[in-house]
Amino acid sequence: RAKVAVLISGRGSNMQALAAHAGAAYRIVVVASDKPEAPGLDWAVQAGLPTFALSPKGIGKQAYESALDAALRAAGAEWIALAGYMRLLSDEFVARWRGRIVNIHPSLLPKYKGLDTHARAIAAGDAEAGCSVHLVTEELDGGKVLGQARVPILPGDTPDALAARVLAEEHRLYPAVLADMVRR
Ligand code: GAR
8 C-alpha to ligand 1 centroid (Å): 9
H, E, C per residue of the chain: CEEEEEEECCCCHHHHHHHHCCCCCEEEEEEEECCCCCHHHHHHHHCCCCEEECCCCCCCHHHHHHHHHHHHHHCCCCEEEECCCCCCCCHHHHHHCCCCEEEEECCCCCCCCCCCHHHHHHHCCCCEEEEEEEECCCCCCCCCEEEEEEEECCCCCCHHHHHHHHHHHHHHHHHHHHHHHHHC
Q: Which residues line ligand 1 (CB under 6 A)?
A: 8, 10-14, 40, 83-84, 104-106, 131, 167, 170
Q: What is the pLDDT of residue 95?
A: 98
Give tens-digit pLDDT for 97-124. 999 999 999 999 999 999 999 999 999 9
Burial group, residue 37, by CB count within 10 angstroms (0-12, 13-18, 19+): exposed
pLDDT at position 42 is 98
Residue 170 CA, closest ligand 1 atom number: 4
CA 72 to chain centre: 15
88 carries a ligand binding annotation: yes
The residue whose CA has the least distance to atom 9 of ligand 1 is: 84
The closest of 12, 89, 19 to 4, measured between CA atoms, is 19
The response to whether 135 counts as a known ligand-binding position is no
Q: What percent of the chain has a predicted confidence (pLDDT) above 90?
A: 99
Q: What pLDDT does residue 16 have?
A: 98
- Residue 184's pLDDT band, with cuts at 50, 70 and 90, is confident
Taking each helix axis from N to C terminus, what angle separates 39-46 and 13-20, rounded to the nearest 10 degrees?
Answer: 20
Could you identify the atom of ligand 1 that is nearest to the CA of residue 17?
18
Distance from the CA of 103 to the center of ligand 1, in angstroms?
9
Residue 83 alpha carbon to ligand 1 centre in Å:
6
Contact 142, 95 (CB under 8 A): no
Using the CB atoms, write b or e for 131-156: b if 16+ within 10 Å: bbbbbbbeeebebebbbbbebebeee
Residue 15 has pLDDT above 90, yes or no: yes
Is 136's pLDDT higher than 90?
Answer: yes
Which atom number of ligand 1 is nearest to the Cα of residue 106? Answer: 4
Q: 75 CA to middle of ligand 1, Å?
A: 24
Q: Is 87 annotated as a binding residue?
A: yes
The answer on whether 181 is annotated among ligand-binding residues is: no
- Residues that are catalytic: 105
Which ipTM score applies to this complex?
0.99
pTM above 0.95, yes or no: yes
